[in-house]
Amino acid sequence: MKLSTLLASAALALGLAGGAYADAHGKTKVGFVFVGPVGDGGWTYEHNQGRLAVEAEFGDKVETVFVESVAEGPDSERVMTQMALDGADLIFTTSFGYMDPTINVAAKFPDVKFEHATGYKRADNVSTYSARFYEGRAIQGHIAGKMTKSNIIGYIGSFPIPEVIRGINSAYIHAKKVNPDVEFKIVWAYTWFDPAKEADAAKVLIEQGADVVLQHTDSTAPQAAAQEAGNVITFGQASDMAQYAPMPRVSSIIDDWAPYYIARTKAVMDGTWTSTDTWDGIGPGMVGIGEISDAVPADVKEEALALKASIADGSYHPFTGPLKKQDGSDFLAEGETADDGTLAGMNFYVEGITGDIPN
Amino acid sequence: MDLSAINPLLFVAGFLVAATPLIFAALGELVVEKSGVLNLGVEGMMIIGAICGFATAVETGSPLLGFAAAAVGGAALSLLFAFLTQITLANQVASGLALTLFGLGFSALLGQSYVGVKPPRLAEVNFGPLHDIPVLGPILFSHDIILYLGFAMVVAVWAMLKFTRAGLILRAVGESHDAAHALGYKVVRIRTLAIMFGGACAGLGGAYISLIRVPQWTEGMTAGVGWIALALVVFASWKPWRLLLGAYLFGGITQLQLNLQGAGVAIPVEYLAMSPYIITILVLVVLSADKSAAPASLGRNFHASS
């Protein structure tokens, strides 16, 4: 009885989700799998903006479908399979934890194209794409190092994956460069989206003396917590989060997926789609830096913009030696820059950060 | 490691706040289950309460009106569940899950224009000189009225279930609805009232997250608290005091692990992150030696003809 009712309700839930996939013969069908709700105001919000841009670009020729708040892991496999069965031609899976499920489902549907965000496993019908968020983190680190008075910078991490660790390192290197006394306090939330937990993490960091809070989670809750505390600065993550400007949010990293999504959809329509690995940064526009607010002193703002310009034109790489790893061993020699392979698999802190990376 | 970075007073005050949404939601569900109804829609009612409370507080400028609206919103949604399970005798598990799905979707729709809005702040209760007592003052006497209401409700529900005729009737309905019916009690009416109480409490819990703990509106912001509340009722073996203990335990360890991480304690973070769940399960196992079981009619539908 219990089991059958559970099955029945699961079927009901599937049916509700499935209702969104109307039949659309002849149209190119593009599916999106989201890790949070489209209204999270951060990561998923921007991916959904990309989806809407695809609709706006191609009008009647495309149909887009999406499923939001899909848990990473096995459940996402079910969602992707359902999308493929419903006739999707191209499926974007927009979180790191969908990596293996994407590869598994792609093997079962060789005619469907898959695009996995922020991962590193590819196949004939699986591309990967990501943005060089660490370029934006360098600018945040610079502003944070200049503006902190307590010399304690709080950092809310989601999961200890290379993308997040890269961001921590990049922010730390550039904060340390302008402020040798700076200290990072890192709290892992073990979630991408849980506003209450994110707010708690921000409050704890603030209580422990942080007057700058950087976040690598998806909701705007840390911004609200910082606003409540007053005199704490934050940065918009993944999305501009401009509703919290000019304080606490003093700038932001904005992910702009729209051009990429449009180009890839076009490639599927034209039959020119091939498996690729895309990793673009500030230069090509995939990473945007949100308006630096008036809460930042003019000279710091100028330096930050100069840093942004030098990263955009390629004259400066955020990971430029001399740099050592946390354990004191050499990472990059004087003038050497990190190659993409090292960056993609980064699993160590740079020298100066305290604490261990959970594994 | 720098444990001195942790301020114990702020830590305790913090976990009282973190536990309050759980207390409300779990207490409401406890009363519902005591009446013999299993409502798995707590998450849905919480999120509806979160947006109803948030929207009302923003529009009227009064957080207290917001909380009132949250209770009304939660209770209104629970009426849907009451209709399905008490009138049409639909399956309670399926109806509860549907309520959660509906609540999440409907709240997202209602909340579209409230993203990024800052709600009015609910002031702390003014305890006068009590607030200045060392240690106790910042921990106990520096909160908003709703937090105290949560505590008072636990006491009230406990006293009601244990000492009053109404509590006895509620428990009778939950243990054996046929016997209660034979004695002339209106089983459906009593259960409907219990379901509405549960909805109102869940709504209050949701609004506590959107108005005080975070404070903002984001889609899906309850992020599973409703499910933890459901588990907590079982963990507390349907006893209000244990429920309070469980909520403080869960909230406290959650806060503690964040504090320890910030202070750079050398315990691997994974263990810290899972500790609230592990410890709650452990306590559950220990307490299961206790004979108290679920209400005998829990989850069974009642019709006067049966």
Q: What is the CATH number of the domain that holds B49?
A: 1.10.3470
Report residue B48 as tokens. Answer: 């509806």
**Is residue B299 in some structural domain?**
no
- Reading chain B (306 residues) residue by residue, the pLDDT tens digits are 567 777 888 888 888 999 999 999 999 999 999 999 999 999 999 999 999 999 999 999 999 999 999 999 999 999 999 999 999 999 999 999 999 999 999 999 999 888 878 888 888 888 888 878 888 887 888 888 999 999 999 999 999 999 999 999 999 999 999 999 999 999 999 999 999 999 999 999 999 999 998 888 988 888 889 999 998 898 888 999 989 988 988 888 888 888 888 887 767 777 777 787 788 778 766 776 666 678 888 888 888 876
The answer to whether residue B301 sits within a structural domain is no
Query: Most A CBs within 10 Å: which of B9, B115, B216, as the mutation test of the A interface?
Result: B216
Mean pLDDT for the stretch of residues A342-349: 90
Alpha-carbon distance B5 to nearest alpha carbon in chain A (angstroms): 5
Residue-wise over B168-180: b if at least 16 C-beta within 10 A, else e?
Answer: ebbbbbbbbbeeb
Has residue A18 got a pLDDT over 70? no
Name the strand (E) or helix (H) holding A116: strand A113-117
- Per-residue model confidence as pLDDT tens digits over A167-201: 999 999 999 999 999 999 999 988 888 999 999 99
Give the ranges where chain B is alpha helix by DSSP (H). 8-34, 42-60, 63-82, 92-110, 136-140, 145-163, 165-175, 177-182, 187-208, 225-235, 240-263, 269-287
Question: Which sign does the torsion angle of CA B235, B240, B242, B245 carry?
Answer: positive
Write the residue in B216, B264, B266 that is nearest to A221 by C-beta: B216
Which residue of A187, A212, A239 to mutate against B (max B Cβ within 10 Å)? A187
CA A50 to chain centre: 14
CA atoms of A188 and A157, how far apart (whole Å): 5
Mean pLDDT of chain A: 89
Q: pLDDT tens across A21-67, in order?
A: 444 457 899 999 999 988 888 899 999 999 999 999 999 999 999 99
The rounded distance, in Å, linking the Cα atoms of A254 and A308 is: 13
- Domains of chain A, earliest start first: 24-132+257-280 (3.40.50.2300), 133-256+286-344 (3.40.50.2300)
A9 to B269: CB separation less than 8 angstroms, yes or no:
no
**Domains in chain B, number:** 1
- Please give the single-letter amino acid code of residue A265: T
Q: What is the pLDDT of residue A16?
A: 46
Kindly list the strands in the beta sheet with A233-236, ordered across the sheet, starting from the edge strand earlier in the chain: A183-188, A152-157, A212-215, A233-236, A249-255, A287-290
A225–B270: do the CB atoms touch at under 8 Å?
Answer: no
Give me the residue from B93, B218, B268 closest to A221, CB to CB: B218
Contact call for A196 and B223, based on CB within 8 A: yes
**A contact residues 227-266, partner B, Cβ 8 Å cutoff:** 227-228, 241, 243-244
Residue A25 has a pLDDT of 53
Alpha carbons within 13 A on the beta-carbon side of A60: 2
pLDDT, tens digit, 9 for 90 and up, residues A113-157: 999 998 889 999 999 999 999 999 999 999 999 999 999 999 999
Residue A358's pLDDT is 81
The confidence score (pLDDT) of residue A24 equals 43
pLDDT digit string, tens, across residues A279-294: 999 999 899 999 999 9
Q: How confident is the model at residue A318 (pLDDT cuts 50, 70, 90)?
A: very high
- Order of strands across the sheet with A126-131? A62-67, A28-33, A90-93, A113-117, A126-131, A277-280
Which structural domain, as residue segments, surrounds residue B43? 3-287
pLDDT at position B95: 94
Neighbours of A208 (CB within 10 A): 24
Task: Note whether A68 and A44 are within 8 A (CB).
Answer: yes
What is the pLDDT at residue A12? 47
Task: For residue A12, give the nearest of B98, B222, B224 by CB distance.
Answer: B98
pLDDT confidence tier of residue A15, bands split at 50, 70 and 90: very low
DSSP letter, residue B217: -
Domain presence at residue B303: no
Per-residue confidence (pLDDT) for residue B288, from 0 to 100? 65
